Amino acid sequence: MSHPIEFFFDLVSPYSYLASEKIEELAQRNNRELIWKPFLLGGLFKALDAPPAPGLLPYKKPHLFKDLVRLAKFHGIPFNTPSEFPRLTVKPLRALLGLPKDELPEAVHRLYRAYWVEDRDISDSAVLEDLVGVETVEKTGNPEIKKALIEATDEAVKRGLFGAPSFLVGEELFFGHDRMDLLDAHLKGKL
């Protein structure tokens, strides 16, 4: 039996946004199930005792958005540098975890594009309600949904992740949108 592709991401990660625009086609091309796995990247960094936002380190930050603009242009993906980075993503991630699995991909795309293309504050309740609905946003305060985000982040830690985007196929980990070609080759049995 072929393992599915598990796509671990946080909406705050611009590289995860770029990956989200390509992962469905990659999964379809390889006849693999795709499982969307939202988790809290900051929680992962905290568990690993890593800096809270490695992309914002003083020596890396000046290059970050220049790199992202180039990558988006190269891959033909819409991208605009947001007016605020990073934004809090706890509430939007909880909203995603409160949705039925079949609604998750479309909602992920709406939220990513709202943040990384339209420069909308996806942490704002009114914006979030517009994107995923009032009922979904109301669920974000539910203790079960809060627990689901903690558990999703704990799973990322336990399974050896150290950043986003990360892709797991069985026990094989591929980290970063720039490793998607290697993921594709692995799924084709070329690695």
pTM value?
A: 0.95
In the numeric block, which tokens belong to residue 41? Answer: 């990247």
- Can you give the pLDDT of all 191 residues of the chain as single tens digits? 589 999 999 999 999 999 999 999 999 999 999 999 999 999 999 999 887 676 677 778 778 999 999 999 999 999 999 999 999 999 999 999 999 999 999 999 999 999 999 999 999 999 999 999 999 999 999 999 999 999 999 999 999 999 999 999 999 999 999 999 999 999 999 98
Say how far apart CA 119 and CA 17 lie, in whole Å: 13
Q: What is the DSSP string of 1-64?
A: -PPPEEEEE-TT-HHHHHHHTTHHHHHHHTT--EEEEE--HHHHHHHTT--S-GGGSTTTHHHH
Annotated domain spans of the chain: 5-187
Say how far apart CA 25 and CA 22 lie, in whole Å: 6
Q: Which pLDDT score is estimated for 55?
A: 65
Name the CATH superfamily housing domain 5-187.
Answer: Glutaredoxin (3.40.30.10)
